[in-house]
Amino acid sequence: MQRRTNRWLAAGIIATVGVLALSACSSGFGAGSSDSSGGKLTSSKKALTVLIGSSGDAETKAVNSAVADWSKSSGTAAKVSVASDLNQQLAQGFSAGKPADVFYLSTDALAGYASNGSLLAYGDNLKNKGDFYPSLVKSFTYDNKFYCAPKDFSTLALEINTDMWKAAGLTDADIPTTWDQLESVAKKLTTDGHVGLGIGGEYARLGAFMAQAGGNLMNADSTKATANSAESIAGLDFAKKLMADGSLKYAKDLGAGWGGEAFGKGLAAMTIEGNWITGAMTSDYPTVKYTIAPLPAGPAGKGTLQFTNCWGIAADSPNQAAAVKLVEKLTSSSDQLAFSTAFGPMPSIKSAADVWKKDNPKLVPFLDGASYAKGVPAAKGAADVVTDLNSKLESLATGDPKTILDATQKNLEALVK
């Protein structure tokens, strides 16, 4: 399972390596419904192919079940495939002129694929268009076209192993709400058997500290690079301080693939992950007792990162009409609430909010974070820059945050000139 990588799909992270070099070999539009630009959607009797990046068995089973239900009711065959490397397989499919009909697509991948004509812009024609949160619609709008339906969204929060917490002599009153408190409890929780805080060594986790300090890689609409601001540097400085104390370690240095695995295996008393972790904990680590709290506030106040994916549809799909119908079903209240129960994402539609809150009281900190969450960069080419940043963050413990972010600033500035 590539949970750590795939969760910037939820991600999660779909790198756009090679995307800009791909050329769209559009099949044209046949009879049927219209796309957002007025063309006709293609239609055929071929089975739909659905490509996803999964956080684990819980997500895989949930998507397979939903697609099978739709297939049975619609009479259109559909097959779900779980990518071992989604960005690579997605790029290979487009390059070969045989992309999946429907697939997970992240905000940072949208611009690259939309700009070369690889994607069908179908969002404005969705029956449930008005039900999506406006901020999510904005995330998947390119060149004034709403390309694809947001499938869900997630924020980051702090997960705490309650048994380890009690063993360290901590109580509910000690749940950290500030950086100083986080530093204190992380030290108390660190033992010979486990570290206080274990997280993924990537921007998609460390970026939360940048947000709490008032920074981020880019501004809200991804038109200006802010990577090396004093606030962003302060966020990484704090993370490095915890690493120097020995109370924060990367999941890979603990022998785990992602923060949720380190947490589930008892290698870390706390982790920073999104609401997708609930599915993995239920299926893989059902005996671990834990609670979820908002991320502690930094110098600038509360801060977290927000992630979202959409259901992309290929412009080359021979059955776009059925693909759109499938997406409408997958983004319905019933399907999204079922996904939430299975693996934890928050529904992308407003009509599901009240039921979701009632059904998921333990996850309220994630939803609360939505009001102050910062989005990941969505500029064309930003995924490559973040990939480069992640490689540098691997050595944050011995590196210089300013030097790391200066290089990222230069790379991001090149995208928005």
Domain boundary assignment for the chain: 3-154+307-375, 155-305+378-416
Q: May I ask the CATH class of domain 3-154+307-375?
A: alpha beta
Tell me, yes or no, if the two domains 3-154+307-375 and 155-305+378-416 fold the same way.
yes
Give me the half-sphere count of Cα atoms (radius 13 Å) on the Cβ side of residue 246: 7
Between 309 and 7, name the one with better pLDDT.
Answer: 309
DSSP 8-state code for residue 212 = H
Tally of CA atoms within 13 A in the half-sphere of 216 that contains its CB: 22
Q: Does the pLDDT value for residue 15 go beyond 60?
A: no
3 state DSSP class of 90: helix
What is the average pLDDT across 311-321? 97
Whether domain 155-305+378-416 has CATH 3.40.190.10: the reply is yes
Contacts of residue 341, defined as CB under 8 A and 6 or more positions apart, other chains included, come to: 359
Query: Which whole number is the average pLDDT over 269-281?
Result: 92
pLDDT at 32 (0 to 100): 44
The first and second tokens of residue 316, run together, are: 């080359």
**Does residue 52 contact residue 326 with C-beta atoms inside 8 Å?**
no
Q: Tell me the pLDDT tens digit for each residue of 61-71.
A: 999 999 999 99
Residue 11 has pLDDT above 60, yes or no: no
Q: How much of the chain exceeds pLDDT 70, in percent? A: 91
Lowest mean pLDDT among 121-125, 304-308, 397-401: 304-308
Residues 6+ apart with CB under 8 A from 79: 47, 48, 49, 50
Task: Identify whether the C-beta of residue 19 lies closer than 8 Å to the C-beta of residue 113.
Answer: yes
The helix/strand/coil state of 14 is coil
- Residue 11 is inside which H or E element, if any? none
| Whole-number Å distance between alpha carbons of 199 and 196 | 10
- Write the pLDDT tens digit of every residue in 155-165: 999 999 999 99
pTM (2 decimals)?
0.78
Q: What's the rounded Cα separation, in Å, for the pair 199 and 249?
A: 7
pLDDT of 405 strictly over 90? yes
The terminus-to-terminus CA distance of the chain in angstroms comes to 38
Could you tell me the pLDDT band of residue 272, with boundaries at 50, 70 and 90? Answer: very high
Query: Which residues does residue 2 pair with via DSSP β-bridges, in sequence order?
Result: none
- Out of 63-67, 114-118, 193-197, which region has the weakest mean confidence (pLDDT)? 114-118
- Mean pLDDT value of segment 384-409: 97
Q: Alpha-carbon distance 222 to 290, whole Å?
A: 35
Range of lowest pLDDT (114-128, 189-203, 260-274, 374-388): 374-388
pLDDT of residue 133: 85
Is pLDDT above 50 for 211?
yes
